């Protein structure tokens, strides 16, 4: 009998697909709505044919060895898969899959929400109201930054980066710059986007959005040297992975007002964040909500389930990453 483990409850749709394909008893779901600790994970994966993991599960070689030789697939419930040692998986003939595409708009919308929140000081204004500091309209109260017609720099023009660029070009007439290894012809045609180096992007953009995968090459890509290329009007948002930014250098740039503000959905040592962030008014902080719409999370459960169904029925899943 097929034996699938799901490390935490996900929307019912995907679970139902697995049960329809392999039987009611083929799926075990972690009954507690929390992240399993490493020892629990090692214990729970034993003897499974498939594991549906979350980005909060560290799937390394030891966990794969604990799963054992039956394990054919680790289906990550995320587009990012830096929580999985994909080389170790390949060495063990384990397929690793992700859920791209279906969370592109949700994550792009979140990046845009952060751009607006920082530029128009929405969360600062919210705190101001709650603290009963509002004494009446004032010409100089909480002045922000105009977005319409300004320049947006996209670091990493994959699906999500391009979706942000298209929305901001069409909706707000923004000029688009991007930094990426490859040239994106269609994207350039559609938005007039220009491919530039990182320094040019930092110097010329009013708004910068980080949309890269996290890999050893992108670790601390945004460091003190790069913050020094930005300017006092720069708004930076990160909906990708926290480790792409040197968080200490970010705190310094925000505290010294080297940049105007930052909108963060991800953190270097998630769920922890650099202590000083919470004391800085020019930071808008969200708890990794990029794909957190009911629509996207349901679609992700369908794709993650379909990846498992394909792998266990000896078809190549659509979204293999190793």
Structure-block tokens of residue 173: 């007439």
Using CA atoms, how far residue 296 sits from 8, 10, 101, 302, in Å, is 17, 12, 9, 10
Is residue 286 within 8 A of residue 265, CB to CB? The reply is yes
Q: Which residues are catalytic?
A: 241, 270, 288
Of the two residues 121 and 167, which places its CB atom closer to ligand GLV in the complex? Answer: 167
Query: β-strands 73-76, 95-97: how paired?
Result: parallel
Q: Return d(Cα 223, Cα 242) in angstroms, integer.
A: 12
Chain contacts with ligand GLV (rule: CB under 6 A):
55, 78-80, 100, 103-104, 158-161, 211, 290-291
Across the beta sheet with 194-195, what order do the strands follow? 194-195, 175-179, 151-155, 207-210, 235-238, 261-264, 283-285
Of the two residues 259 and 305, which places its CB atom closer to ligand GLV in the complex? Answer: 305
Of the two residues 11 and 125, which places its CB atom closer to ligand GLV in the complex? Answer: 11
Of the two residues 111 and 235, which places its CB atom closer to ligand GLV in the complex? Answer: 111
User: Helices 294-312 and 104-119 sit at what angle, rounded to 10 degrees?
Assistant: 150
Upstream peptide bond of 271 is cis (omega within 30 degrees of 0): yes
Closest approach of Cβ 240 to ligand GLV, in Å?
Answer: 8
Closest approach of Cβ 215 to ligand GLV, in Å?
Answer: 13
């Amino acid at each position: 009998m097929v034996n699938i483990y799901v490390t935490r409850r996900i929307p019912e749709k995907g679970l139902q697909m697995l049960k329809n394909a392999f039987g009611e008893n083929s799926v075990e779901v972690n009954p507690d709505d929390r992240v399993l600790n490493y020892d629990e994970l090692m214990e729970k994966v034993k003897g499974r044919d498939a594991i549906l993991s979350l980005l909060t599960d560290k799937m390394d070689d030891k966990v794969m060895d604990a799963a054992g030789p039956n394990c054919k697939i680790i289906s990550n419930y995320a587009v990012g898969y830096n929580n999985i040692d994909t080389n170790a998986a390949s060495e063990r003939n384990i397929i690793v899959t992700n859920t791209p595409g279906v969370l592109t708009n949700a994550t792009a919308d979140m990046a845009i929400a952060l751009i607006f929140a920082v530029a128009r000081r929405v969360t600062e204004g919210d705190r101001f109201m709650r603290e009963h500091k509002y004494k009446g309209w004032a010409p100089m109260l909480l002045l922000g930054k105009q977005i319409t017609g300004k320049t947006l720099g996209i670091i990493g023009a994959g699906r999500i980066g391009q979706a942000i660029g298209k929305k901001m070009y069409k909706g707000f007439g923004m000029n688009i710059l991007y930094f990426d290894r490859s040239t994106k012809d269609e994207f350039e045609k559609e938005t007039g986007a220009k491919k530039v180096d990182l320094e040019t992007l930092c110097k010329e953009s009013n708004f910068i959005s980080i949309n890269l995968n996290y890999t050893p090459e992108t670790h601390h890509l945004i460091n003190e040297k790069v913050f020094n290329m930005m300017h006092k009007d720069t708004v930076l948002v990160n909906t990708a992975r926290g480790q792409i930014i040197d968080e200490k250098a970010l705190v310094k740039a925000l505290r010294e007002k080297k940049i105007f503000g930052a909108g963060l959905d991800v953190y270097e040592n998630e769920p922890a964040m650099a202590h000083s962030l919470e004391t800085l008014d020019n930071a808008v902080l969200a708890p990794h909500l990029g794909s957190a719409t009911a629509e996207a999370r349901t679609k992700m459960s369908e794709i993650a389930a379909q990846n498992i169904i394909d792998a266990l029925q000896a078809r190549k899943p659509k979204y293999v990453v190793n």
